[in-house]
Structure 1
Amino acid sequence: DKISARSRMIESGVPVIPGDEVAIPDNSDHLGTLASVAARVGYPLLLKASAGGGGKGMRIVREPKMLRTEYEAASREASAAFGNGTVYVERLLTGARHIEIQILADKYGNCIHLNERDCSLQRRHQKVIEEAPSSAVSDELRKSMGEAAVLAAKSVDYVGAGTVELLLSSNGDFYFLEMNTRLQVEHPVTEMITGVDLVQKQLEIASGLPLGISQDSVSISGHSIEARIYAEDAKIGFLPAIGKLALWRPPSGPGIRVDSGVKEGDEVTVNFDPMLAKLIVHAPNRMAAIRRLELALSSFVALGVTTNIGFLRNALTHPVFISGNITTDFLDNAPMTEFIGEIPDPSVLVAIASAAKRLGAGKSGVNTNSRILDDHSGHAYDPFIRLSRRLP
């Protein structure tokens, strides 16, 4: 659990966020202990579920009068999600960045890091867009954070693929958050910039093979960004959406990767996490990756269920994101009107669909045996042919 992990990191000399490791169990007489711990840590503070992850069981408390209410909410959510309502207290770092380090370790004592991922663009303490490398991390800082992550893994004799999550403050100091003993949702961006297949390495390590990679052999090639495609409505607080995927056409092309667990015709229900897919791109540099991801998002067709694709496009092209200065509290402080476009008039959509149908959109593919594909009448992608017409 996170409380034990914090204690072990303190013993090992890994920097942690100022806080208190005193566990506050659910269903206990908590108010006195909670108030005492909060006074020591100071406001604003963050209540965090010891057993949890994914942003569940976390509450920000900015003033003492809200302490009890937010604690009860955090503990209740943690109990429902993880079967354990134990909560601990951390100082809330504002204007920080969420940086995580990918590590690999085998049972022979070899442990390396594969550089960082920047996961600062978040909503409800959950990541939305992740990228690697981070524009906020210099070579010197990357080396220091990587060494701290390796130290953290070695301090618990870790074996396998894992992620050490850190908070990078505005003054350049970094602190241990937690360690995820698994592959993260965002692991593809690391694969894209290093060329290392993390799933393969995880299986090799589990089968008893040595790591086979040295720290010096790990390099960074280009830039990669991942966007999480969720069935959710950004206009109403990112609440999950349900429905049938009437049309599901992910993008494809050079430098584009889609990891998806759904197909056209599937029902999206409240029984599972609302994430539908991960859209990952790779390009020679950050701006090229941003352009490639925006183009891929613009061609991603998902109908029948409300998704966050429009929100992702607006977030990706926001001046603050483009500048590389995103912090974890960015979405909390920015007006949502900057990320949500106007809802189109249904009558306009009907008119467009009607016109498209009259022009032959959606008809079957081109007959390659037709004489209109001879040397004098265009090619298979000619717009006149696609509309089942001949050239003038």
Structure 2
Amino acid sequence: MAANTGKLAGKTLFITGASRGIGKAIALKAAKDGANIVIAAKTAKPHPKLPGTIYSAAEEVEKLGGKCLPCIVDIRNEDEVNKAVEESVAKFGGIDILVNNASAISLTNTQDTPMKKFDLMMGINTRGTYLCSRVCHPYLKNGKNPHILNLSPPLNLNPIWFRGHVAYTMAKYGMSMCVLGMAEEFKNDGIAVNALWPRTAIYTAAMEMLGGGKEVQAQCRTVDIISDAAYIMLTKDSKSYTGNFAIDDEVVRDAGITDLEQYSCVPGSTLLPDFFLDSEDPEALHKQMVDQGAKPAFKPSASSSSGDGPAKTFQQVKSLLSEDLVKSINGTFQFNLSGDYPGTWYMDLKNGSGAVGEGEIPGGDATCTMSLDSTDFTKMFSGNLNPTMAFMSGKLKIKGDMTLAMKLEKLMKKMNSKL
């Protein structure tokens, strides 16, 4: 763990959403230095499903040697933010550090994200971060080694991080854009503005809900890696360390901490990468959670243009098309897929050099129509599900030329080594 150096002693930290989870962990780490902590959050009464209130968090801060001011704040409300900041300055004499941690999440696509949910995420994540930064700015200018730290991801414009939850991505990237702009705007004031994001999933009550239960814990790191990384960042020189989009394990490793296994909830387990980092895509993360026994409360997104799921299989099939293949099959197929990647696809192995694509087959009815779950489709073409067994068990329904279906099965066996 990162050792406390005492550099935050007497400093005042205004932390949003610090009644539990990552925000509270950062507060407790700073409290060990003897820092003043302002817990700005909505939870004044115990939540039926989530642990902690601003008052229970304040007790923990003070037991560790810090001073604390718990404030009931909805960061979407300008009056409440202004009041909390004024109370903080009156009690502690100023503000040295702002941690924009409060966040709302809904991993839902456009049709499944009503405007009320959209407004909630934009209001807390983007607007709340902007508002708190704006209100705290005059006091940060007079602070000692002042910092703003946003718990937000690097700006990654890969479409895979938008397509399944565009509203959430916009809201989180809004926090990151505050870093991008304010780091430049506040540079002459000596205020550092940086972002911090975890490499892997962090086990919190929110992660437990997203993961569908406590089973996801084995794939997570503890909040300690985030609080250690935040502490290291917040004790750097604000005039020289600004405009960074930092990843937690890189921060602690650069500080000399090489044993990252100490941060694993279950040492030796396979960790779940977090969103917005291109080591994995959302579908792979969903699959890993399921494979390790978790029941994620969100579904992977489907995209015909992304190269994932059935789209990837059809793209690979397309690369194998030839006139000889068309002559050997001499038929057209339609695939009606359900499940995580619903849609209709076609495979023309009758005309020219062949063709594949999404939608109904151009120019008429398919010779053979196959209906099945999209996951089973991918397994079938990759050799992990026998088509005959799928048909006999009812997983695969075939309409039309059965002889053609048998030809396609033989073709699949030849393709398996290439797909």
Instruction: Tell me the TM-score normalized by structure 2.
Output: 0.27
Task: Judging by fraction of residues, say which structure has more helix.
Answer: 2
Larger RCO, structure (CA 8 Å, separation 6 or more): 1
Instruction: Write 1 or 2 for the structure with the bigger share of strand.
Output: 1
Find the structure with the greater CA-based Rg: 2
